[in-house]
């Protein structure tokens, strides 16, 4: 009886999981969690700063995405799904001196439409803190500000013409050349980074548009400054999405398993 009950539980759970994993053939809405990340990955420059040693700046996100087909023929994300008013990381690594901290401020994504690649702005700006984190929060003269996009039309995640910020006080100029997002290999300078599309259990792209599917989109951009000791910094925006089951589907699965447990206990008592 116990063996029969366990087989029944296994069969029923497999069926319910199949319901969770099943994806519609046409456009549908799936819930997701994820992160939008900025990475500076350039090697040590002429001034000896190893930008690849800088930690990532990640803004968390969650919401719903509209997809078409289980292989993510198209993917649409709403604006503001990822946002952070301030991400601030102090640094003590001598490999990145004289940088003592990095920040991302007012980070927010624009609306995005993808076909295994596409455009979505990363709004806000980054800061290399030279004068210390307390001062960096108020914008001292020594800090370097990196604009990510301009007017929602060009920059990181969009491409188009370059975005430049000139500081009238310090005379420092910072220019960003961006690109759209891709789910394949992206390259900036000599640095490459991979995007990917996985279905449940790390399956292929044919089942990526299902609950537990995962995708990573990447957008390369180059940061250039007028400071000779810093020069150009190869960088990437990284978008990670993990599709999650709807609460109603999870409730169905849980209720089914609990119901089987009650039936099994009654049979075993008999």
**pLDDT class of 32 with cuts at 50, 70, 90:** very high
d(C-alpha 107, C-alpha 84), whole Å: 5
For residue 240, the model assigns a pLDDT of 96
Sort 23 into a burial class: Cβ within 10 Å, 0-12 / 13-18 / 19+: buried
Q: How many domains does the chain have?
A: 1
Q: Over 50: is that where the pLDDT of 11 sits?
A: no
What tokens were used for 187? 């390259």
**Distance separating alpha carbons of residues 162 and 159, to the nearest angstrom:** 8
For the chain, how far is it from start to end, CA to CA, in angstroms? 10
Which structural domain, as residue segments, surrounds residue 26? 2-269
Structure tokens at 235: 């960088």
Binned at pLDDT 50, 70 and 90, residue 264 comes out as: very low
Please write the tens of the pLDDT for every residue from 47-74.
678 888 999 999 999 999 998 888 878 8
What are the beta bridge partners of residue 99? none
Q: Is the Cβ–Cβ distance between 117 and 157 less than 8 Å?
A: no
CB 61 within 8 A of CB 109: yes
Q: What is the 3-state secondary structure (H, E, C) of the chain?
A: CHHHHHHHHHHHHHHHHHHHHCCCCCEEEEEEEEEEEEEECCCCCCCCCCHHHCCCEEEEEEEEEEEECCCCCEEEECCCCEEEEEEEEECCCHHHCCCCEEEEEEEEECCEEECCEEECCEEEEEEEECCCHHHHCCCCCCCEEEECEECCCEECCCECCCEEEECCCCCCEEEEECCCEECCEEEECCEEEECEEEEHHHECHHHCCCCCCEEEEEEEEEEEECCCCCCEEEEEEEEEEEEECCHHHHHHHHHHHHHHHHHHHHHHHC
**pLDDT, tens only, 156-209:** 999 999 999 998 877 889 999 999 999 999 999 889 999 998 888 777 788 888
206 or 43: which carries more pLDDT confidence?
206
pLDDT band, very low/low/confident/very high, at 18 (cuts 50, 70, 90): very low
pLDDT at residue 107 greater than cutoff 90: yes
Distance CA 39, CA 58 (A): 9
| β-strands 191-194, 163-166 pairing | unpaired
pTM: 0.81
Q: Averaged over 132-148, what is the pLDDT?
A: 74
Mean pLDDT of the chain, nearest integer: 80
CA angle centred on 56, ends 55 and 58, rounded to 5°:
145
Average pLDDT over residues 100-124: 93
> Given pLDDT bands bounded at 50, 70 and 90, which one contains residue 254?
very low
Query: Over the stretch 74-83, which tens digit does the pLDDT of each residue have?
Result: 899 999 999 9
Distance CA 232, CA 15 (A): 54
Q: At a CB cut-off of 8 Å and minimum separation 6, what does 248 contact?
A: none
């Amino acid at each position: 009886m116990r063996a029969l009950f366990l087989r029944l539980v296994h069969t029923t759970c497999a069926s319910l999981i199949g319901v969770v994993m099943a994806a519609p053939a046409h456009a549908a809405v799936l819930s997701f969690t994820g992160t939008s990340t900025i990475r500076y990955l350039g090697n040590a420059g002429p001034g000896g700063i190893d930008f690849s040693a800088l930690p990532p700046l990640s803004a968390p996100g969650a919401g719903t995405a509209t997809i078409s087909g289980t292989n993510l023929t198209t993917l649409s994300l709403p604006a503001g799904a990822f946002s952070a008013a301030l991400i601030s990381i102090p640094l003590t690594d001598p490999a990145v001196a004289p940088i003592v901290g990095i920040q991302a401020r007012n980070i927010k994504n624009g609306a995005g439409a993808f076909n295994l690649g596409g455009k979505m702005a990363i709004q806000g700006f980054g800061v290399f803190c030279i004068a210390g984190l307390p001062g960096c929060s108020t914008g001292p003269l020594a800090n370097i500000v990196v604009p990510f996009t301009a007017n929602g039309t060009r920059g990181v995640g969009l491409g188009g013409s370059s975005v430049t910020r000139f500081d009238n006080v310090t005379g420092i100029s910072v220019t960003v050349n961006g690109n759209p997002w891709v789910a394949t290999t992206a390259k900036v300078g000599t640095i490459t980074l991979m995007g990917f599309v996985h279905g449940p259990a790390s399956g292929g792209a044919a089942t990526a548009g299902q609950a537990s599917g995962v995708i990573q989109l990447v957008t390369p951009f180059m940061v250039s400054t007028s400071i000779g000791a810093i020069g150009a910094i190869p960088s990437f925006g990284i978008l990670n999405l993990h599709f999650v089951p709807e609460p109603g589907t999870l409730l169905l699965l849980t209720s089914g398993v609990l119901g089987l447990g009650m039936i099994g206990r009654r049979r075993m008592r008999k």
